[in-house]
Structure 1
Amino acid sequence: MTLHFSVIIPTYNVADYITATLDSLANQSLLPTEIIVVDDGSTDNTVELVRQHPLIERITIVEQENQGQGVARNHGVTLATGDYIYFLDSDDLLTDNFVAEIADAVAENNAPDLMFFSGREFQDAAYSGSAFNPTNYLRPYETAWRSQEAFFADLLKVPDLSCSPCLYVSKRSLWQGQKLSFNEFYHEDEELFYRLIFAAQSYYMTQDVYFLRRLRDGSTMSGKKQPKHALGLHALLQSLVAMAAANRDKPLRMRLIRRRIRRFAASYIFCCRLAKVPVDLRLVSRAARELRHIRGHLSIVRALLGLGTL
């Protein structure tokens, strides 16, 4: 089977890393159909290095003013022509068999809407942060699902599933038909994730490791928590509360959404305190009302706020 496969790479001041990232695509046993690099206002020579890369005949370069990673990804989606889309961060790597094995999985599993795979991290030589052990980068299943209900039921059996766009491949038709897009805030991948899995109808997951995440100083993942992180979590919590209101008649979805609300209400409050910004108590109260179906929800809410009562 011929797989028409689009790789979208948002870039911003990654001159030290972009060549290695593109090399990991050049080393694929089966090359992707196209690579779309959306540069988000770099002030270094990132774009020049992309133009000099041997893969340039397969690369489309787009330059935009700095608007954030989510907007850059959305721009890439509008340009993609492949049947499937993959988002690769500009400092990370892939194993050499990634594209070929995704193509095999598409052929062997009736072209699922979403395909999940595992990843692991490695430390950049200059990295000075703490060790990172993302256990949720390891996928819990090796199977396929042909219905939402079966997939959601199995998701509820595991504590977490990483939402990183670097750990899944999606049909381009999902993005077109459902008008999906990333928002412009931090944590845009978390905000999109449930909308994406609710839009899909078929799923495949493998425990094989294809994605190699670089730990480095200055990345969006390892940076200090700031007001913009709290703003992103605020947008995420708002989205989850709205999603709950829209899915009252779907029990499995509601269980997934409420579990997510419980997790990110705590993250939002904690981040606000670290960043020294006020907590939106009205939003937290709305989130708390969604938790009323969880046993011990009052103690959960009090623990979230650090208050005796809500």
Structure 2
Amino acid sequence: MNSGMNATSSAGSSQRTHRSHSVSLVVPAYNDEKYLSEMLRSALAQTVPFGQITVVDDGSQHDLTRLIASDFPASPIYCIRQDNAGLGPARNTGISLSKCEYILFCDADDVLSDELLATFSETLESHPEIDLFCFSADVFSDENHPLGNTSRYHRMADMYFQTGKDALLDMLRRREFISSSCLYIMRRSVLEGRIPLRFQAMKHEDEPFTLQALLRSKGTVFTRKTLYHRRMRSGSIMTSAPDSTSVEGYFRAAQAWRATSIEFEASDSRLIRRHADSLYTRGIERAIKAGLDEPDIRSMARRFSPAYFPAMNRDLSLSRASPRLVAAFYQLTDLCRRLL
């Protein structure tokens, strides 16, 4: 453990793990003291308890260990404090501390359905071999904040797939890919192996992470049940104004997806590239909205998304006229490819 990290548990000096249960909950938190207790209450309210609950305090201004000790004095919640490193590295800290067979990530301002682990346990009775359990979410706001497109968090059907790759391609065909890692309970062994899978230190870190988690997984189950509640609020990562780090994140995610496309057969590779194109397009749109200078945008594309750099001049010209033209261009290109 590095010098910038110290551990405290609201239930004692050592981390408690209920070996009879199989899911570790990882909650990264940064200045989320207003919402954290509500989230943790939803975790403790599960009819089937978590085997382990770890809060990673990512350098918050207020020490969250004191909040947890005050609000949950007799609970098994474990809190570790580290220097601020961002959402991805905070989740990675949680992964390194996880002991259970499965792992779930939850944002500190969200809320879990009290049926989540019971539903997962029932699924395991029918499919004990699964690596991934994927569920739906709804979106709420206690600030009258616009909710946006909430359908992007809904599974359209209850389905079983023999591999995560099959599940990935099905989502892409339906245009229903859900990148949020919070909507997957995953077997911890999926994240280990010869090359461990970890989150990158970037915005939109879920895009490359969830892609690789699916490709590493075998049995995968989808449920339409809404088992997670996402909070839309001002100042969160999802609602913050676009900046250069957001643009960089989209470019890096697009490059990661594009690089993966070579591992697929032609028709499936087009699905992967289509999603990569959409990420790159979002990066261009965010760059224009953020008012970034074109030399800076080109520099970021050259560095983080070289596969797309040759198209940069065309796409910047289109985006200046209308950012939506870029998305339309790629949709038309994809349609032509499928027809030919």
Q: TM-score range by the shorter chain?
A: 0.7 to 0.9
Partners of 2:169 and 2:251 lie apart in 1 by 27
Residues 63-105 of structure 1: per-residue CA shift (max 9 Å, x gap):
1100000000011001000110000100110111111111111
In the alignment, which of 301, 304, 310 is matched to residue 326 of structure 2?
Answer: 304
Q: Normalised by the size of structure 2, how large is the TM-score?
A: 0.79
Could you say which residue in structure 2 is the equivalent of 1:268? 283
Partners of 1:3 and 1:199 lie apart in 2 by 24
Change (3 A) 1:227 1:148: closer
Could you say which residue in structure 2 is the equivalent of 1:5? 23
Q: Shift of the alpha carbon at 1:142?
A: 0.2
Answer yes or no: is 1:200 the counterpart of 2:217.
yes
Say whether the 8 Å CA contact 2:103–2:188 is kept in structure 1: yes
CA RMSD, Structure 1 to Structure 2 (Å): 2.7
Could you say which residue in structure 2 is the equivalent of 1:146? 162
- The residue correspondences of 1:235-250 to structure 2 (distance < 5 A) are 235-245=252-262, 247=263, 249-250=264-265
Could you say which residue in structure 2 is the equivalent of 1:35? 53
Q: Structure 1 stretches of 5 or more lacking a match?
A: 291-301
Q: Shift of the alpha carbon at 1:55?
A: 6.8
Change (3 A) 1:106 1:224: same
Answer yes or no: is 1:79 the counterpart of 2:101.
no
Could you say which residue in structure 1 is the equivalent of 2:66? 48
Answer yes or no: is 1:258 the counterpart of 2:273.
yes
Say whether the 8 Å CA contact 1:84–1:171 is kept in structure 2: yes
Partners of 1:83 and 1:93 lie apart in 2 by 22
Partners of 2:23 and 2:187 lie apart in 1 by 9
Q: Normalised by the size of structure 1, how large is the TM-score?
A: 0.86
Q: Shift of the alpha carbon at 1:41?
A: 0.1
Say whether the 8 Å CA contact 1:83–1:171 is kept in structure 2: yes
Q: Shift of the alpha carbon at 1:139?
A: 0.4
Could you say which residue in structure 2 is the equivalent of 1:213? 230
In the alignment, which of 135, 139, 144 is matched to residue 121 of structure 1?
Answer: 139
Could you say which residue in structure 2 is the equivalent of 1:168? 184
Partners of 2:216 and 2:288 lie apart in 1 by 34
Residues 237-285 of structure 1: per-residue CA shift (max 9 Å, x gap):
222232234x1x5346523321211211110111111223332354667
Question: Partner letter of residue 228 of structure 2?
Answer: F
Change (3 A) 1:107 1:230: same
Q: Shift of the alpha carbon at 1:11?
A: 0.5
Could you say which residue in structure 2 is the equivalent of 1:135? 151
Once the two structures are overlaid, the 10-residue window that deviates more, 82-91 or 43-52, is: 43-52
Q: Shift of the alpha carbon at 1:62?
A: 1.0
Partners of 2:32 and 2:125 lie apart in 1 by 35
Q: Structure 2 stretches of 5 or more lacking a match?
A: 1-18, 312-323, 330-340
Partners of 2:309 and 2:84 lie apart in 1 by 36
Change (3 A) 1:55 1:116: farther
Question: Partner letter of residue 192 of structure 1?
Answer: F
Which structure has more relative contact order (CA 8 Å, sep 6+)? It is 1
Q: Secondary structure at the match of 1:44?
A: coil
Say whether the 8 Å CA contact 1:5–1:82 is kept in structure 2: yes
Say whether the 8 Å CA contact 1:50–1:56 is kept in structure 2: no
Could you say which residue in structure 2 is the equivalent of 1:299? none
Question: Partner letter of residue 220 of structure 2?
Answer: Y
Q: What is the percent sequence identity of the aligned residues?
A: 27
Change (3 A) 1:56 1:304: farther
**How many aligned residue pairs are there?**
293
Partners of 2:169 and 2:35 lie apart in 1 by 39
Question: Partner letter of residue 233 of structure 2?
Answer: R
Say whether the 8 Å CA contact 1:35–1:60 is kept in structure 2: yes
